[in-house]
């Protein structure tokens, strides 16, 4: 996800150069005054990640000529540091032991250090965004508020009479879609895009953010070779898109699957049984169709963007993100 394959070799080479430069500057920006804090702050950065948000910044920055490369890099760093900082906090709240294939910060150094390191990375993102200008600071602040509100809504859970699927979509729009939308808008701002294009980039980013998370839901069930352990959400008792669709349309034949997906699963035999039943259930095709529909909706927002390599690459991402779960 950190690169883009494109017929324009020069464009592809430019994107790769910028992503490589951003990677180096991420580590530098996360450095602290002490070796301990630097190690803890760079822990998840060193573990890798898709760098999807920096990629979106870079692609959107090429919609119009003349974007300053330093500004591109700083905008991308702000987005990625904000994302990584939120992961430190998420892992504390979820009591996660592993993140990106390595011990989570909270399991390695304890909750207090993990929370403070997340705060430190947010501070680094804030000092970096301040170099870009007040409009960037405002968008960063609004995005951060949405991230927090999404986490609060997820923690609080459903309120009386609230539709479970609507609640879930609202949560992931705030937790995932908002930062991805901000990434595309940051890229557009760097290259001086007009307001109608910035609005289209925001709508595209929000929708592709939902596609990104919903395709993850499918990967957690359908894929054995995605690099992730299938059934993580089932183990944690987290109802994602396929399970929510199941609950909305279940019949008497689904009684066992409903029971398995109503609670966290601690036995591997039950996880395997739930995965087998879900993979064979029609809700998986229904969920795939919803992901594909939203990917096309995201692509539609790009129609007002100027034609060229950047728009083509953003369009191609719709398929790349949606169909990684196929």
Structure confidence by residue, pLDDT tens digits, 65-104: 999 999 999 999 999 999 999 988 888 887 777 787 788 8
Indicate whether 200 pLDDT > 80. yes
The pLDDT > 70 percentage for the chain reads 96
Domain final position from 151, 166, 192? 192
Q: Are residues 262 and 141 in the same domain?
A: no
Give pLDDT, residue 326.
47
Tell me the Ramachandran region of residue 104: left when phi exceeds 0, alpha when psi lies from -120 to 50, beta otherwise. Answer: beta
pTM passes above 0.85: yes
Residue 102 DSSP SS3: strand
Q: How far is it, in rounded angstroms, from Cα 222 to Cα 326? A: 8
Rounded to an integer, the average pLDDT of 148-161 is 90
In a domain, 75, yes or no: yes
Q: How far is it, in rounded angstroms, from Cα 305 to Cα 191? A: 13
Q: For strand 98-99 and strand 102-103, is the pairing parallel, antiparallel, or unpaired?
A: antiparallel
Please report the beta strands in the chain, taking only residues with DSSP state E, as ranges in sequence order. 98-99, 102-103
Q: How far is it, in rounded angstroms, from Cα 150 to Cα 284? A: 25
Indicate whether 320 pLDDT > 70. yes
Q: Are residues 129 and 171 in the same domain?
A: yes
Which residues touch 190 (CB under 8 Å, ≥6 apart)?
A: 57, 60, 61, 67, 68, 71, 72, 75
Domain final position from 162, 177, 192? 192
Q: Are residues 237 and 162 in the same domain?
A: no
Q: Residue 266 gets which letter from DSSP?
A: -
Give pLDDT, residue 273.
95
In Å, how far from its chain's centre is CA 249? 28
In a domain, 274, yes or no: yes
pLDDT tens for 238-293 read 899 999 999 998 888 999 999 999 999 999 999 999 999 999 999 999 999 999 99
Domain total in the chain: 2
Give the CATH number of the domain where residue 250 resides: 1.10.600.10
Give pLDDT, residue 107.
86
Q: Are residues 198 and 181 in the same domain?
A: no
Range of the domain at 104: 8-192
Q: Are residues 145 and 236 in the same domain?
A: no
pLDDT tens for 124-144 read 999 999 999 999 999 999 999
Domain final position from 133, 165, 192? 192
Give pLDDT, residue 44.
85
Q: Tokens 């950190």 — which residue?
A: 2
The pLDDT > 90 percentage for the chain reads 73
Indicate whether 226 pLDDT > 70. no
As beta bridge partners, residue 99 has: 102
């Amino acid at each position: 996800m950190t690169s883009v394959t494109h017929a324009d070799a020069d464009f592809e080479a430019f994107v790769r150069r910028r992503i490589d430069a951003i990677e180096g500057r991420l580590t530098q920006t996360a450095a602290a005054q002490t070796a301990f804090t630097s190690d803890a702050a760079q822990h998840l950065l060193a573990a890798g990640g898709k760098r999807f948000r920096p990629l979106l910044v870079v692609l959107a920055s090429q919609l119009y000529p003349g974007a300053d490369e330093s500004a591109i890099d700083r905008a991308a760093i702000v987005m990625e540091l904000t994302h990584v900082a939120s992961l430190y906090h998420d892992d504390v709240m979820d009591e996660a032991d592993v993140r990106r294939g390595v011990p989570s910060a909270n399991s390695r150094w304890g909750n207090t250090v993990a929370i403070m390191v997340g705060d430190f990375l947010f501070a680094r993102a804030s000092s970096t965004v301040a170099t870009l200008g007040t409009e960037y600071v405002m968008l960063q602040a609004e995005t951060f508020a949405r991230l927090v509100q999404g986490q609060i809504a997820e923690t609080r859970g459903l309120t009386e009479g609230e539709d479970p699927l609507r609640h879930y979509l609202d949560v992931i729009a705030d937790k995932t879609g908002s930062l991805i939308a901000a990434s595309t808008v940051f890229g557009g701002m760097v290259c001086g895009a007009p307001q109608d294009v910035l609005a289209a980039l925001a709508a595209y980013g929000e929708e592709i953010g939902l596609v990104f998370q919903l395709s993850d839901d499918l990967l957690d069930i359908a894929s054995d070779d995605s690099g992730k352990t299938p059934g993580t959400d089932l183990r944690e008792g987290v109802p994602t898109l396929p399970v929510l669709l199941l609950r909305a349309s279940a019949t008497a034949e689904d009684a066992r699957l409903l029971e398995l997906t109503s609670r966290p699963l601690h036995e591997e035999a039950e996880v395997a049984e739930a995965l087998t039943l879900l993979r064979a259930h029609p809700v998986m095709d229904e969920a795939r169709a919803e992901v594909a529909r939203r990917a096309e909706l995201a692509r539609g927002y790009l129609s007002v963007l100027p034609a060229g390599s950047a728009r083509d690459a953003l369009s191609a991402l719709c398929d790349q993100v949606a169909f990684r779960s196929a």
